[in-house]
Amino acid sequence: MVKTVRTVIATHETEGFRKVTSATTIGIMTAAHWTPTYGDPFEPVPYRPARMPAEESLATAADLRRRMDARRTVRMFSTDPVPEQVLVDAIAVAATAPSGAHQQPWTFVLIEDQETKQRIREAAEEEERISYEGRLGDEWLSALRPLGTDAVKTHLTDAPYLIVVFQQRYFLDEDGTKHKHYYVDESVGIAVGMLITALHLSGLAALTHTPSPMRFLGELLERPQNEKAFAVIPVGYPADDCVVPNLVRKSLDQVLIRR
């Protein structure tokens, strides 16, 4: 097993208010690394991962393709507990996502408390009722019909965990000065993709749920004003009687074009 130990060894408070220099030990590799702040110089460090033999790449890719094709978005969860560390590890995987200017503009709120889940469900259902009763409009409602969704969101209280993903639209420094974050939607979207991949490959089911509007999440979870809710991800095992819509993915020739 690969063990990751992260030790904060220095915090620079002069020019870099959020600069943290840390030592990370991954197996036998130790590397000092840091989070750049505005205007830091380019400091290249060698990156020489061992090259994977082609045979192994091919076998790994084919296996991942088969395993990921078996993923289904689940809306019917068992209330059975799941090992929390799997979610913590999956969030750590998501947090390795590439991001605009390496600003890592995401926050993951992990919720197990039943009362909090209940409050989220009530607020989400209130919004969803308005949406399904007309706010979405006929075209959108028709697009959703094959998915069988409605305003009742049992997954929000049945799933043993919810992960609420927030995007940090900008960064506020200690003086309250706003700093821009770049490509926030893209960065957080990639991180969520990595999160649901990690959860699936670790044996858990998830739903990428976007109750709309999501403003209530920031208020309920007391997030700062620079954070905007991006998705609510219930995580658990599928219910014993779980069903999913009979959907088929596009074929590879429909999505892959060679030139």
Chain residues that interact with ligand IYR, rule: CB under 6 A: 128, 131, 144, 147, 149, 209-212
* Beta carbon nearer to ligand IYR, 113 or 139: 139
Confirm if 159 and 171 have CB atoms less than 8 A apart: no
Q: Which is nearer to ligand IYR, 35 or 212 (CB)?
A: 212
Minimal distance, residue 8 CB to ligand IYR, in Å: 39
Q: What is the smallest separation between the CB atom of 144 and ligand IYR, expressed in angstroms?
A: 5
Closest separation between CB of residue 156 and ligand IYR, Å? 10
- Report in angstroms how near the CB of residue 229 gets to ligand IYR at its nearest: 12
CB nearer ligand IYR, residue 118 or residue 210:
210
Q: How far is the CB of 244 from ligand IYR (least distance, A)?
A: 13
Q: Helix/strand/coil (H, E, C) string of the chain?
A: CCCEEEEEEEEECCCCCCEEEEEEEECCEEEEEECCCCCCCCCCCCCCCCCCCHHHHHHHHHHHHHHHHCCCCCCCECCCCCCHHHHHHHHHHHCCCCCHHHCCCEEEEEECCHHHHHHHHHHHHHHHHHHHHHHCCHHHHHHHHHHCCCCCCCHHHHCCEEEEEEEECEEECCCCCEEECCCHHHHHHHHHHHHHHHHHHCCCEECCECCCCCHHHHHHCCCCCCEEEEEEEEEECECCCCCCCCCCCCCHHHHCCCC
Smallest gap, in angstroms, from Cβ of residue 193 to ligand IYR?
Answer: 15
Interhelix angle 184-201/84-94, rounded to 10 degrees, is 140
Closest separation in Å from C-beta 225 to ligand IYR: 24
Based on CB atoms, which residue is closest to ligand IYR, 21 or 212? 212
Q: Which is nearer to ligand IYR, 121 or 209 (CB)?
A: 209
Report the residue number, 37 or 149, with the smaller CB distance to ligand IYR.
Answer: 149
Identity of the residue, 136 or 201, whose beta carbon is nearer to ligand IYR in the bound complex: 136
Q: Report the distance separating Cα 198 and Cα 203, nearest Å.
A: 9
